[in-house]
């Protein structure tokens, strides 16, 4: 095996099986390029991987060690695991869990889904519906029973049935929703373009006379991490949300891959790559690169030496901009009320989104949150935990206090959802993730993907660099319309048996 | 998908014309040949009155290929009546196991007399079995017969399902399904037949979930509900659950003419059944007005909502000669309510500019005048003119109508000044 590895002049060596690298493998799976796809980790998925409890433990341990030569620590740091001793129900066995590093859900109108469909890779992924978006309102001062969870209305029928906002506010909200649906054509564009780079909240206040509460609803729909998303970006996200509603079925605008989010898509893509002839090597990284005569020579950690025309790898930048803090918590409750089917005939959702707006969380030390905390609640239908438990992914902008903020937010959330008892936390995984490079980089024949997006809903901008890399590799033979468009490998089924 | 459907048009399924290769043309010719053979076979046997299980299977094949071939549905009916289904109990031979190939065409109450091109020389039919056999007189053969019938009828219902999934608007399939369901009423015990019809209601609900505004489905639902309410199925009124159903459908999609329409039709019966007194009726009207106002508050562009609001207004204003929600309202009550509704509609203008709002304001102001048997006052006339002018800008396609209306007000002004008191309010 080592012989042929070194003898081949590879068309491309892809290092890392994160989402962009995996999608690249998928895009090349029907070409006759010679592809060697390696990953220093012992698992697929890179920064988008999903872990069993054991794998999570290993990952955390590794992060606390200094970087080994050839392995990419990537953008993660400050990771730790806590298992509260007070949990009344014990954790199930480690492999009963699949905790996602990238629990992003995908809007129905996302380009990613069109590519998964046209490339036929969608067949191997199971999707769940993403259900309602909620806001947690802190307990009102006087009686202060507990914080309340309010559903955010995003369709006309939602607005009709909610009792949480006044008739006047409903009219204002409807006007805005109608505006957004047509926001990219005149006369709507005239109205907002001058405000393109100012905060959406200000635009809402000025032009729609929205009160603070409604502004919060709308900003939450954008999942803005700092709560200050620009008008241009905010309108785009809400437009995507609204136009995605009902596309794949009643009552939902987004879907989520079962068994660990984007890691599933990465795995399915690598599988397609392997079926297409690419060679896969896990636990293998790059020790050294030298460029000579239009070729790159790589020394791999496996001891092999290979030569390739092109090298594609993930983001190598370290210590990027402030990113996010995340707390992954396993709890012993099904959170039934969050996963209710609201629209008759709609599928049961597996994901719910709950926001604690800026200022809604106060840490034990008295610090008030400056930016929103978002909770992505996953039911056991996602396959990420056993039945009777749920997984919560809490995210907020990283600051010196963000770990405490997330803890306080978790407490607030659990109180708000509690019915007869407050659910217990069985397991906690905390880490911070930097924002790496936002652009792809090319030096000679080495192509670097940007760092993973920190957005909570899949950002289609992730797809651009994949296409870029594909074009570089395909060279002159690239036929644009064929990108990610494949036919099924098996012959189409024939249903002529009626005649027999 | 390589198959091409033969026979007549398939509702809503586009026939794509594309260039066919020689191979495909040959394949298609082969399929056409097979189809023609099948058709000839069935028609031959039918003409000979050969009602055998084999022929029954042939009709299954043919109908799967072409569910719109209604003659074949009739052949199938005859196959069932002539032997597959049990004979009626009164007096005739209970030969349920075997069946003859001679026409025994027992009369049923189904309406497919149109189909018979044969069996004119039939022996006089024994008395039709009474609807809803109670089973008390059932001998062993009888109950065996019922079990067999049950299986066959269920199987026939199942047979239509895949056909309906592919051709949901094909009348012939629905007609056959209804015929089978009627057979159930006649041949099976009331409780058994009832359960089948309840399942049918479930099917109607499923269809409406898939397509909330399919008025065929609503009509079908009403028919099923009617049967379930009938004494033949031991039924009672379903006004309450059906009213609740319209609420559910409206919550799922406000823009549902059929749901609002059904709702309006159920109200008189509902209130009667509840034995609602004047106070209860007033409360009911208040609730309905609140509901539709909330709906208009988020959907002022939606005609179905305005239709329902008009319906409620007419209840107040046009109460002579037909059942209304609040027959005991005094003139004062009615005026109060109409004024309140007009104010409510005006509130919508704070944020909305839809033409239907202005039209409603026009209509309701005129209703008010009608109610009080007077002409519009000066203030009202000024409002009417403003709204009309607005409509001419928003809805220029109907400028003729708006101009007419304005002329009529102008006319009325002239006539009034001439002392003519018999001017009718022109709408």
pLDDT computed for residue B215 by the predictor: 76
Residue A245 has pLDDT above 70, yes or no: yes
Distance from the B357 Cα atom to the nearest Cα atom in chain A, whole angstroms: 14
pLDDT computed for residue B108 by the predictor: 40
Residue B189 in contact with residue B132, Cβ under 8 Å?
yes
Residue B344 has pLDDT above 50, yes or no: yes
Mean pLDDT along residues B114-134: 41
Partner-chain residue, chosen from A157, A159, A498, that has the shortest CB–CB distance to B252: A157
pLDDT computed for residue A73 by the predictor: 55
Mean pLDDT along residues B12-34: 77
Distance from the B354 Cα atom to the nearest Cα atom in chain A, whole angstroms: 12
Residue A345 in contact with residue A250, Cβ under 8 Å?
yes
Using an 8 Å CB-CB cutoff, list chain B residues near A172: 351
- Picking from A233, A229, A207, the residue whose alpha carbon sits closest to that of residue A216 is A229
Q: What is the pLDDT of residues A461-487, one digit of tens each?
A: 999 999 999 999 987 665 666 899 998
The DSSP annotation for B27-87 comes to HHHHHHHHHHHHHHHHHHHHHTT---HHHHHHHHHHHHH-TT-HHHHHHHHHHIIIIISPP
Cβ contact (<8 Å) for A495 and B298? Answer: no
Cβ contact (<8 Å) for A171 and B297? Answer: yes
Around A451, how many Cα atoms within 13 Å sit in the side-chain half-sphere? 21
CA distance A156 to A172: 12
Q: What is the pLDDT of residues A249-292, one digit of tens each?
A: 888 999 999 999 999 999 999 999 999 999 999 999 999 999 98
Confidence of residue B16 (pLDDT cuts 50, 70, 90): low
Distance from the A103 Cα atom to the nearest Cα atom in chain B, whole angstroms: 29
- The radius of gyration of chain B's CA atoms, rounded to the nearest angstrom, is 30
pLDDT computed for residue A316 by the predictor: 78
Mean pLDDT along residues B100-120: 39
pLDDT computed for residue A319 by the predictor: 63
Using an 8 Å CB-CB cutoff, list chain B residues near A344: 209, 248-249, 251-252
Cβ contact (<8 Å) for B294 and A160? Answer: yes
CA distance A201 to A216: 8
Instruction: Tell whether pTM > 0.95.
Output: no
- The radius of gyration of chain A's CA atoms, rounded to the nearest angstrom, is 24
Cβ contact (<8 Å) for B253 and A345? Answer: no
CA distance A35 to A13: 6
- Any chain B CB within 8 A of the CB of A494? yes
Residue B108 in contact with residue B89, Cβ under 8 Å?
no
- Picking from B270, B272, B245, B273, the residue whose alpha carbon sits closest to that of residue B260 is B245
pLDDT computed for residue A40 by the predictor: 94
- According to DSSP, residue B253 is labeled -
CA distance A228 to A241: 18
SS3 (DSSP) at B213 = coil
- Picking from B42, B48, B109, B107, the residue whose alpha carbon sits closest to that of residue B81 is B107
Residue A236 in contact with residue A222, Cβ under 8 Å?
no
Cβ contact (<8 Å) for B294 and A167? Answer: yes
Residue A223 has pLDDT above 70, yes or no: yes
Residue B393 has pLDDT above 90, yes or no: yes
Cβ contact (<8 Å) for B31 and A161? Answer: no
pLDDT computed for residue A436 by the predictor: 85
Greater confidence (B106 vs A259) lies with A259
Confidence of residue B17 (pLDDT cuts 50, 70, 90): low
Residue B359 has pLDDT above 90, yes or no: yes
From its phi and psi, is residue A322 left (phi > 0), alpha (psi between -120 and 50) or beta? Answer: beta
User: Angle A129-A133-A137 (CA atoms, 0-180°, nearest 5)?
Assistant: 155
Query: In whole numbers, what is the pLDDT of chain B averaged over residues?
Result: 81
B245, two tokens: 């159903």
pLDDT computed for residue B89 by the predictor: 53
Using an 8 Å CB-CB cutoff, list chain A residues near B249: 344
Residue B109 has pLDDT above 60, yes or no: no
Residue A322 in contact with residue A398, Cβ under 8 Å?
yes
Q: What is the pLDDT of residues B30-81, one digit of tens each?
A: 989 999 999 999 999 989 888 888 899 999 999 999 999 999 999 999 999 9
- Picking from A440, A303, A358, A328, the residue whose alpha carbon sits closest to that of residue A97 is A328
Confidence of residue A11 (pLDDT cuts 50, 70, 90): very high
CA distance B69 to B290: 50
Using an 8 Å CB-CB cutoff, list chain A residues near B256: none
Q: Which residue of A has its CA nearest to B61?
A: A498
In a mutagenesis test of the A interface, which of B351, B354, B357 is the best target, namely the one with the most A β-carbons within 10 Å? Answer: B351
Residue A267, burial from CB neighbour count under 10 angstroms (0-12, 13-18, 19+): buried
- Any chain B CB within 8 A of the CB of A166? no
Cβ contact (<8 Å) for A171 and B249? Answer: no
Can you say how many angstroms the Cα of residue B425 is from the centroid of all Cα atoms in its chain? 36
Residue A329 has pLDDT above 80, yes or no: yes
Q: Work out whether strand A127-137 and strand A148-151 pair parallel, antiparallel, or are unpaired.
A: antiparallel
CA distance A48 to A265: 9
- Any chain B CB within 8 A of the CB of A498? yes
Confidence of residue A350 (pLDDT cuts 50, 70, 90): very high
pLDDT computed for residue B86 by the predictor: 80
Residue A357 has pLDDT above 80, yes or no: yes
Output the CA–CA distances (angstroms, integers) from residue A312 to A283, A286, A482, B381, in the order listed.
Answer: 17, 12, 21, 76
- Long-range Cβ pairs for the range A170-175 (8 Å, 24+): A170/B297, A170/B298, A171/B297, A171/B298, A171/B348, A171/B350, A171/B351, A171/B352, A172/A208, A172/A209, A172/A210, A172/A214, A172/B351, A173/A210, A173/A214, A173/A217, A174/B298, A174/B299, A175/A208, A175/B351, A175/B352
Output the CA–CA distances (angstroms, integers) from residue A294 to A446, A471, B318, in the order listed.
Answer: 11, 18, 90
pLDDT computed for residue B19 by the predictor: 65
Partner-chain residue, chosen from B2, B210, B297, that has the shortest CB–CB distance to A170: B297
- According to DSSP, residue A79 is labeled E
Cβ contact (<8 Å) for B298 and A172? Answer: no
Q: What is the pLDDT of residues B135-165, one digit of tens each?
A: 445 455 567 788 889 999 999 999 999 998 8
Cβ contact (<8 Å) for A499 and B31? Answer: yes
CA distance B397 to B109: 52
CA distance B258 to B304: 9
Partner-chain residue, chosen from B251, B297, B299, that has the shortest CB–CB distance to A167: B297
Residue A109 has pLDDT above 60, yes or no: yes
pLDDT computed for residue B211 by the predictor: 78
Q: What is the pLDDT of residues A415-429, one digit of tens each?
A: 999 988 899 999 999
- Picking from A376, A330, A328, the residue whose alpha carbon sits closest to that of residue A134 is A376
pLDDT computed for residue A452 by the predictor: 93
Terminal C-alpha separation, chain A: 51
Residue A270 in contact with residue A44, Cβ under 8 Å?
yes
- Any chain B CB within 8 A of the CB of A497? no
Range with lowest mean pLDDT among A43-47, A86-90, B44-48, B254-258? A86-90
Cβ contact (<8 Å) for A344 and B2? Answer: no
Around A218, how many Cα atoms within 13 Å sit in the side-chain half-sphere? 34
pLDDT computed for residue A410 by the predictor: 96
Distance from the B198 Cα atom to the nearest Cα atom in chain A, whole angstroms: 19
SS3 (DSSP) at A286 = strand
Q: Which residues of B touch A (CB under 8 A)?
A: 1-3, 31, 34, 61, 64-65, 209-210, 248-249, 251-254, 294-295, 297-299, 347-348, 350-352
pLDDT computed for residue A154 by the predictor: 85
**A311-313 β-sheet, strand order:** A279-282, A35-39, A12-15, A311-313, A446-448, A441-443
In degrees and rounded to multiples of 5, residue A330 shows phi and psi of: -100, 130
Residue B93, burial from CB neighbour count under 10 angstroms (0-12, 13-18, 19+): exposed
Residue A285 in contact with residue A70, Cβ under 8 Å?
yes
Residue B214 has pLDDT above 90, yes or no: no
Query: In whole numbers, what is the pLDDT of chain A averaged over residues?
Result: 90
Distance from the B253 Cα atom to the nearest Cα atom in chain A, whole angstroms: 6
A·B CB contacts under 8 A? 57
A71, two tokens: 């392995």
Residue B170 in contact with residue B68, Cβ under 8 Å?
yes
Buried-state track A182-209, b at ≥16 Cβ within 10 A, e below 16: ebeeeebeeebeebeeebbbebbeeebe
Q: Which residue of A has its CA nearest to B2?
A: A494
pLDDT computed for residue A60 by the predictor: 95
Distance from the B362 Cα atom to the nearest Cα atom in chain A, whole angstroms: 22
Proportion of chain B above pLDDT 70, given as a percent: 78
pLDDT computed for residue B213 by the predictor: 73
pLDDT computed for residue B8 by the predictor: 46
Q: Cβ of A4: how many Cβ atoms within 10 Å?
A: 8
Can you say how many angstroms the Cα of residue A40 is from the centroid of all Cα atoms in its chain? 22
pLDDT computed for residue B340 by the predictor: 96
User: Angle A116-A121-A124 (CA atoms, 0-180°, nearest 5)?
Assistant: 120
Distance from the B281 Cα atom to the nearest Cα atom in chain A, whole angstroms: 24
| Residue B74 β-bridge partners | none
pLDDT computed for residue B126 by the predictor: 41
pLDDT computed for residue A35 by the predictor: 96
Residue A337 has pLDDT above 70, yes or no: yes
CA distance B32 to B37: 9
Cβ contact (<8 Å) for A160 and B295? Answer: yes
pLDDT computed for residue A437 by the predictor: 87
- Picking from A432, A415, A324, A321, the residue whose alpha carbon sits closest to that of residue A362 is A415
Confidence of residue B295 (pLDDT cuts 50, 70, 90): very high
Proportion of chain A above pLDDT 90, given as a percent: 74
Q: Indicate the helix (H) or strand (E) that contains A255.
A: strand A254-257
pLDDT computed for residue B395 by the predictor: 92
Residue A388 has pLDDT above 70, yes or no: yes
Cβ contact (<8 Å) for A160 and B64? Answer: no
Partner-chain residue, chosen from A159, A492, A494, that has the shortest CB–CB distance to B298: A159
Distance from the A498 Cα atom to the nearest Cα atom in chain B, whole angstroms: 7
Distance from the B353 Cα atom to the nearest Cα atom in chain A, whole angstroms: 11
Q: Which residue of B has its CA nearest to A177?
A: B298
User: Angle B325-B328-B332 (CA atoms, 0-180°, nearest 5)?
Assistant: 105
């Amino acid at each position: 095996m080592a012989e042929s590895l070194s003898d081949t002049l590879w068309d491309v060596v892809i290092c890392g099986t994160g989402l962009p690298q995996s999608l690249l493998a998928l895009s090349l799976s029907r070409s006759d390029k010679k592809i060697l796809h390696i990953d220093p980790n012992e698992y697929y998925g890179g920064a988008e991987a999903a872990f069993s409890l054991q794998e999570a433990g290993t990952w955390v341990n590794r992060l606390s060690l200094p970087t080994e030569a050839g392995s990419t620590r990537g953008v993660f740091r400050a990771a730790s695991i806590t298992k509260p001793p007070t949990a009344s129900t014990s954790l199930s066995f480690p492999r009963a869990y699949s905790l996602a590093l990238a629990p992003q859900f995908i809007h129905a109108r996302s380009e990613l889904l069109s590519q998964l469909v046209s490339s036929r890779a969608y067949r191997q992924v199971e999707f769940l519906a993403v259900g309602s978006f909620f806001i947690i309102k802190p307990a009102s001062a006087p009686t202060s029973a507990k914080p309340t969870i309010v559903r955010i209305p995003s369709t006309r029928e939602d607005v009709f049935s909610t009792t949480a906002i006044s008739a006047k506010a409903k009219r204002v909200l409807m006007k805005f929703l109608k505006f957004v649906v047509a926001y990219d054509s005149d006369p709507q564009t005239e109205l907002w373009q001058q405000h393109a780079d100012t905060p959406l909240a200000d635009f809402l206040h000025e032009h729609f006379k929205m009160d603070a509460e409604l502004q919060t609803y709308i900003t939450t729909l954008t999942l803005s991490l700092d709560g200050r998303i620009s008008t241009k970006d905010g309108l785009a996200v809400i437009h995507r949300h609204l136009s995605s509603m009902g596309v794949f079925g009643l009552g939902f605008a987004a879907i989520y891959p079962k068994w660990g989010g984007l890691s599933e898509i990465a795995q399915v893509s690598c599988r397609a790559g392997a079926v297409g002839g690419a060679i896969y090597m896990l636990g293998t990284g790059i020790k050294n690169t030298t460029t000579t005569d239009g070729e790159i020579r790589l020394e791999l950690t496996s001891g092999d030496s290979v030569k390739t025309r092109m090298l594609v790898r993930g983001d190598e930048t370290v210590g990027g901009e402030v990113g996010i803090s995340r707390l992954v918590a396993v709890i012993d409750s099904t959170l039934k009320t969050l996963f209710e089917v609201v629209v008759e005939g709609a599928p049961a959702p597996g994901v719910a989104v709950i926001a604690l707006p800026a200022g809604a969380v106060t840490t034990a030390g008295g610090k008030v949150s400056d930016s929103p905390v978002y909770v992505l609640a996953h039911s056991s239908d996602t396959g990420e935990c056993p039945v009777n438990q749920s997984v919560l992914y809490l995210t907020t902008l990283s600051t010196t206090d963000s770990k405490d903020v997330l803890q306080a937010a978790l407490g607030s959330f659990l109180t708000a959802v509690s019915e007869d008892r407050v659910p217990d936390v069985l397991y906690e995984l905390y880490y911070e993730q930097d924002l790496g490079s936002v652009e792809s980089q090319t030096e000679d024949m080495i192509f670097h993907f940007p760092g993973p997006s920190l957005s909570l809903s899949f950002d289609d901008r992730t797809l651009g660099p994949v296409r870029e890399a594909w074009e570089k590799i395909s060279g002159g033979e690239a036929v644009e319309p064929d990108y990610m468009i494949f036919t099924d490998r098996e012959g189409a089924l024939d249903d002529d048996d009626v005649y027999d | 998908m390589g198959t091409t459907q033969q026979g007549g048009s398939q509702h809503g399924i586009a026939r794509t014309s594309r260039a066919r290769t020689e191979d495909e043309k040959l394949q298609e010719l082969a399929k056409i040949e097979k189809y023609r053979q099948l058709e000839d076979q069935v028609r031959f046997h039918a003409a000979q009155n050969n009602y055998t299980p084999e022929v029954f299977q042939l009709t299954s094949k043919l109908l799967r290929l072409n569910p719109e071939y209604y003659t074949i549905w009739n052949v199938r009916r005859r196959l069932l009546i002539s032997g597959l289904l049990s004979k009626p109990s009164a007096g005739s031979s209970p030969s349920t196991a075997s069946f003859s190939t001679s026409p025994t065409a027992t009369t049923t109450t189904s309406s497919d007399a149109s189909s018979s091109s044969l069996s004119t020389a039939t022996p006089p039919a024994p008395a039709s079995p009474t609807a809803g056999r109670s089973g008390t007189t059932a001998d062993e053969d009888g109950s065996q017969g019922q079990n067999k019938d049950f299986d066959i009828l269920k199987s026939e219902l199942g047979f239509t399902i895949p056909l309906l999934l592919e051709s949901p608007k094909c009348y012939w399939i629905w007609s056959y399904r209804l015929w089978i369901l009627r057979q159930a009423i006649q041949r099976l015990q009331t409780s058994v037949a009832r359960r089948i019809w309840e399942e049918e209601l479930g099917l109607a609900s499923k269809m409406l979930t898939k397509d909330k505004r399919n008025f065929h489905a609503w009509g079908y639902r009403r028919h099923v509900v009617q049967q379930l309410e009938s004494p033949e199925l031991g039924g009672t009124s379903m006004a309450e659950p059906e009213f609740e159903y319209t609420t559910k459908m409206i919550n799922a999609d406000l823009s549902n003419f059929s749901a609002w329409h059904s709702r309006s039709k159920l109200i008189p019966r509902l209130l009667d059944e509840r034995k609602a007194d004047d106070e209860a009726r007033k409360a009911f009207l208040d609730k309905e007005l609140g509901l539709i106002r909330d709906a208009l508050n988020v959907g002022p562009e939606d005609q179905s909502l305005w239709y329902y609001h008009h319906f409620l207004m007419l209840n107040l204003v046009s109460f002579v000669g037909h059942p209304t929600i609040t027959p005991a309202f005094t003139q004062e009550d009615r005026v109060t309510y109409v004024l309140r509704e007009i104010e409510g509609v005006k509130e919508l203008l704070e944020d909305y500019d839809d033409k239907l709002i202005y039209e409603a304001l026009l209509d309701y102001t005129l209703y008010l005048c009608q109610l009080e048997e007077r002409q519009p006052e000066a203030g009202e006339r000024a409002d009417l003119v403003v709204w009309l002018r607005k409509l001419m800008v928003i809805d220029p396609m109907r400028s003729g109508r708006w101009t007419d209306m304005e002329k009529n007000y102008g006319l009325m002004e002239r006539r009034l000044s001439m002392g003519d008191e018999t001017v009718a309010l022109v709408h």
